[in-house]
Amino acid sequence: MMTKASGMEMALSGIRVIDFGAGGIDPITTSILADFGAEVIKVESYSKIDFIRLSGRTIDGTDDPNKDVHFARYNQNKFGVLINLKFPKGVALAKRLVSTADVVTENFTVGVLKRLGLGYDELRKVKPDIIYMSSSFGGQEGPYRDFRGHGTHLACMAGLYDLTGWPDESVPLALAAFADHSSPFLWATVIIAALEHRRQTGRGQFIDASSLEGCIDILDTAIADYSANQRILTRQGNRHPAAAPHGVYRCQGKDRWCAISIFTDEEWQSFGQALGNPAWAGEERFATLPGRLANADELDQLVEGWTHEQEAEKVMLKLQQAGIAAAVVETARDLYQDPQLAHRGHFWELPEQDMKGYTFEAPAGCLSKTPASLQRRFPLLGEHNEHVFLELLSLDPEEYKALVKEGVIS
């Protein structure tokens, strides 16, 4: 509605998505679509609130499901309606909504929506070319069919945790719900591919999206390496097989660090010059990459001997000016003060009174003609019932009132 009002044609203008999902991966997928102009209608009910609304992290310290910071971040730009799917009338209403849509997404436990009468085969009866994506932990079939879990669990199963850390420690050291924030981009891509397929063939489809499988590509070349060379990749700390120095070096202050990567011999020479040509930087054994790799431990100590008395920002700027890849290990505080991010306007801020000052990142892709935009904050529970049911679906006002009264729209 606001898209039309502002007259701005966006990349996905005209695409309507009905989202029955909850949690992380499914809602983030549709928020990406919404950021680029899709009209996403999120379906919840008082009997099944998106559990992320109850994550316990609210803007004001209350338990208000309309103030959760996670929910706010995963559901911007969407419309929110309430339909109690336990009522047959609720299922009928949901079908009516789907009959006007292009895409349906859900991430219920496998089989639940089907039992409610909202499976793919039912919905294609009301909208033959519907694109229906069910995302789940491991897919709709297979031994892990009934597994539940968060992005962190997926990252463990996909190998990310095993590969993060130091070679001399066994404890996995990642801190990442990685799949929660990667899979959505994959699923958004697949949904647009399905729209393209529909454009070419006129056909919709059911997509069984396995977030575990969507995460396996983090293994990079380790799959082919195991297959071709029978090698099992292990933790490498901050080392790189083709760069030295390559690491995270302590800087002045508490828990301040700068990451540095030196690949070529030319970069190594510039590094020496940037440091004012200390004797060690000119040593023959460090002149070539093989020499630096062979002496990497000692090199790390020498580099840290230089960095640890300086501010991380100064190390970064000095080295980047010398043509060397380097960056402060930024905390969230640093990111909000990062001049590059500020220049690029990477943060969106909510104007609404109830979440005043709530800021989050805009999409990282700057499309020159159809940029993403923040049209509205996350929906409050049932906020757009009237807009969706009365205006978009043209429900008779009396029928609408009755459905509210009966607890169907609730």
Partner 1 sequence: MGIKRAPLAPYRVLDLTDESGVFCTKILASLGADVIRVEPPEGDPTRSIGPFYHDEPDPEKSLHWFTYNLNKRSVTLNIECTTGQELFKRLVKTADFLVECFRPGYLDKLGLGYAILSELNPRLVQTSITPFGSTGPYRQFKGSNLVVSAASGYLYLCGDAERPPVQCATPLAWYHTGLEATTFTMMAHWYRQRTGQGQQIDVSAQESFMSQALPDLLFWKSHGWLTQRSADGRNVAATPAQAATPAHAARPAQAARPAPRSMIKCQDGYVLFSIRPYLAEIREWLASEGMTEDLFEKEWDDVILKKLHPSPEQQHHVDDLVQAFALKHTRDELMWGGEKRGIEVAKVQNVRDVMEDTHLKERGYFVQVEHPEIKDTITYGGSPFKSDEMSWGYQRRAPFIGEHNQEIYIGELGLNKQELAVLKEGGVI
- Site for partner 1 (CB under 8 A): which residue of 16, 42, 53, 70? 70
Q: How far is the CB of 358 from partner 1 (least distance, A)?
A: 7
- Site for partner 1 (CB under 8 A): which residue of 42, 53, 127, 246? 246
- Give 171's contacts (C-beta < 8 A, 6+ positions apart): 165
Contact between 403 and partner 1 by CB under 8 A: the answer reads no
Site for partner 1 in 247-276 (CB under 8 A): 247-250, 257-261, 263
* Distance of alpha carbon 130 from alpha carbon 101, whole angstroms: 7
- Site for partner 1 (CB under 8 A): which residue of 22, 83, 123, 188? 188
- Site for partner 1 (CB under 8 A): which residue of 290, 323, 351, 397? 323
Nearer to partner 1, 96 or 346 (CB): 346
Stretch that binds partner 1, among 87-95, 99-107, 230-238, 377-385 (CB under 8 A): 230-238
Q: Are 215 and 146 in contact (CB under 8 A)?
A: no
Query: Cα 28 vs. chain centroid, distance in angstroms?
Result: 6
How many residues interact with partner 1 (rule CB under 8 A)? 150
Torsion of CA 115, 116, 122, 126, to 10 degrees: 180
Does the CA dihedral 404-407-408-410 come out positive or negative?
Answer: positive
* Distance of alpha carbon 321 from alpha carbon 387, whole angstroms: 54
Two tokens, residue 269: 């020479």
Nearer to partner 1, 115 or 343 (CB): 343
Site for partner 1 in 77-136 (CB under 8 A): none
- Site for partner 1 (CB under 8 A): which residue of 43, 101, 130, 158? 158
Cα R_g (the chain), whole angstroms: 26
Q: Spell out, one character per residue from 289 to 308, where the chain touches partner 1: x when CB under 8 A holds, - when not.
A: --------------------
Q: Are 256 and 311 in contact (CB under 8 A)?
A: yes
Does the CA dihedral 104-107-108-114 come out positive or negative?
Answer: positive
The catalytic residue among 26, 50, 180, 300 is 180
Annotation says 19 is catalytic? no
Give me the active site residues, please: 180
